[in-house]
Amino acid sequence: MVYCSEAMANRLGPAPAALCSTAELAYAPLMGHIPEDSALMLKYKDGDTAAFETLYRRHNDALYRYLLRRCQNRAAAEDVFQEVWGKIIKARASYRPTAKFTTFMYRVAHNCFIDHVRRNKRHASNLELDAELYPDTSEQPDAIAERSLARERLTLALQDLPEEQRDAFLLHEEAGLSIDQIAAVTGSNRETAKSRLRYAVNKLRAAIQEPQ
């Protein structure tokens, strides 16, 4: 019998029956050229729930950080996070490895965030999040103060970026996506994605280095 992990249960809430049931379908050996994440998703498609748990453990932290930065609100990020994994679960039957799994996952996340904003016009900020995103260190007080100031500048500068530039930056820095993957996730061409990322990096760098 296969059990859902406690971490998944806490994150996703009650799981569909199929998610925690014993795999019933056999699957053929996968071709070596299929990326590992995509291979795991194909195994999950064929009933291997342990494959999905591996995917979840591998990507849930980065996905949550990305959504937290985009939503700038913890409750909203939690809601969208659960929605993203729910859609991935529902999409397993039709999943095809036409792109890297991370491209597929962040495309779903991108669309879920847009849907969230449309549903919630009064999109609130919650700026106390950074203390948890950047763990405390043993630095000297002046170094800690400088790091805190830089984080504050970065947070405010992120808020001031145009939505497309902020998304490109977070997909690159938080999700680790390439320019081509960012273009695929956001539905833009490569040059547009590259330009958005360049503008975002330049603006953020200038904001962080701005003398106070």
Mean per-residue pLDDT, 172-198: 92
Q: Identify the H or E element spanning 187.
A: none
Per-residue pLDDT band for 160 (boundaries 50, 70, 90) equals confident
Rounded CA separation 208/171 (Å): 19
For residue 16, give the nearest of 81, 92, 77 by alpha carbon.
92
pLDDT > 90? residue 51: yes
Tokens of 65: 């950080």
For residue 186, give the nearest of 110, 116, 112, 88 by alpha carbon.
110
**Considering the entire predicted model, what is its pTM?**
0.67
Q: Identify the H or E element spanning 50.
A: helix 49-71
Domains and CATH numbers, the chain: 1-126 (1.10.1740.10), 134-212 (1.10.10.10)
CB 44 within 8 A of CB 92: yes
Residues whose CB is less than 8 angstroms from the CB of residue 8 and which lie 6 or more positions away in sequence, other chains included: 15, 53, 56
Residue range 87-139, pLDDT digits in tens: 999 999 999 888 889 999 999 999 999 999 888 865 444 434 443 444 444 45
Q: What angle do CA 66, 107, 65 make, to 5 degrees?
A: 10
